[in-house]
Structure 1
């Protein structure tokens, strides 16, 4: 029988991570979310900034980072160290018993290096298995997992994996036991019909309307990975999925109309 206990899975990145004030505001809001919760974070902007100082330039294709060995070392330090532990410490200060994790810890996220087709993404990992038993044991102990976007292949190799993909895979793995709500946060208030118009939020997307927008080239490259993850979660039975700003997380958890709602 499906356990109806709610688990909120929230992914943040972008300017929320980069801006100390925005991060503090989000963490305060996150700490007030009742019940079980999991935080997945990125940190691409900060990694880019630190990388530039080290002479490492970022490279992307359709919104996904191309990860060579030098970049992998950089993001492991920034994601798994600086950002992850900063978030955990701030949550502990707010009496949230958080635990920072990468995909290698407790074999949480096992992945395979993405096969080279038209683009070589380098040390990018596609998730093969989520250790849901470990996650469930943490939730049972009232611990709040804070997960960085680093996975591993079980053979000693770390891999870079998209944070939205990690949030989606965890949501899909846990939905058999919990009522899972997934909130994919980024720097806009929702999916925009016009990327230059902050008010052009698409309030609702289903597979048909998404396909229509794709056919008209109205979905920008950077949004495609996020939307693909959202629709995969929907297909797997995740209860509620929204895409929007981390600033509106209070509204989202209260089930108010905010962001873009992904529905069947």
Structure 2
């Protein structure tokens, strides 16, 4: 099987032009099939403030009303996505900007209203994700750059979690490629001691994860990321890596510097 890297970058990279430039240079240098999934950063919030559109959050999750979905569609699918594509093209990387709505690349449903109405927010319908369409792009030398937007099959754009989109794509393509899913965030990896930036746990298996949780060695905020990582591995992804954006190239090799999560 050929290797495939599905790489997700967060807002901390997108919000810093110098960090984004360095990251994209490294991404362009990866000599293997690859997909980039990006979030939106704080750009939508800043632009919304200028336009008089208030940002509303519940438990850290954006409420996406009618005005906000227009805003994030413009920013995520337009401004952020196309700037990334243009920079990658300048580096000789044949990038193509897409959303989950384009070609129905990431099917989704509108999140049902339960205790909270999140508005125009989508949940990925992973079982329907068309791996063959992604493979068609990759086989033709195209590097997809995916913005975190989907649609509801009724003509409405949906704001959708980029981490979940990346994981779902990695799972869908794991039957065709040996897939490493890489989450780039602000730490060097999963830390054994949250106050010690150098205490990176370089490998976590299911067995060691159970032990670390029992010993309460991991801070609570990382547990959902690890649970999602093992869910992806259970669904066919070979490896998941959590590390810093600055270490991207190293983390596409066999001698990783972040936290490599395996079965």
**TM-score above 0.5:** yes
Checking the alignment, whether the CA contact within 8 Å between 2:26 and 2:248 is kept in structure 1 is yes
User: What is the rounded CA distance, in whole Å, between the counterparts of 2:141 and 2:70 in structure 1?
Assistant: 32
Is the CA contact (8 Å cut-off) linking 1:123 and 1:160 kept in structure 2? yes
Out of 54, 57, 60, the position equivalent to 1:59 is: 57
Does the 8 Å CA contact 1:66/1:121 hold for their aligned counterparts? yes
Aligned to 1:132: 131
Deviation at 1:53, TM superposition (A): 3.1
Equivalent in the alignment of 1:162: 161
Residue 219 (structure 2) pairs with residue 219 (structure 1): yes
1:161 and 1:195, CA in 2 relative to 1: closer, same or farther beyond 3 A? farther
Q: Trace 1:37-76 onto structure 2 (pairs within 5 A).
A: 37-55=34-52, 56-61=54-59, 63-76=60-73
* Counterparts of 1:193 and 1:49, CA distance in 2: 35
1:212 CA displacement: 5.9
> How many equivalent residue pairs?
259
From 107, 110, 126, the counterpart of 2:107: 110
Q: How does 1:85-104 map to 2 (within 5 A)?
A: 85-104=82-101
CA distance in 2 between partners of 1:184 and 1:177 (Å): 21
* 2:16 equivalent to 1:22: no
The answer for unaligned runs of 5 or more in structure 2 is none
Output the CA distance in 2 between the equivalents of 1:120 and 1:259.
Answer: 37
- Whole-Å separation in 1 of the counterparts to 2:159 and 2:228: 16
Would you say the 8 A contact 1:213–1:219 is kept in 2? Answer: no
> What is the RMSD of the two structures over their aligned residues, measured on CA atoms?
2.1
The SS at the match of 2:107 is: strand
Q: Is the 8 A contact 1:64 1:162 kept in 2?
A: no
Residue 170 of structure 2 corresponds to which residue in structure 1? 171
2:236 is aligned to: 237
CA distance in structure 2 between the aligned counterparts of 1:159 and 1:212, rounded to whole angstroms: 39
Map 1:138-217 → 2, pairs under 5 A: 138-207=137-206, 209-210=208-209, 216=216
**Aligned 8 A contact 1:102 1:149 in 2:** yes
1:196 deviation in Å? 4.0
TM-score, normalised via structure 1 length: 0.89
Offset at residue 213 of structure 1 (A): 5.6
CA distance 1:105–1:18, shift in 2 (3 Å): same
Structure 1: unaligned runs, 5 residues or longer: none
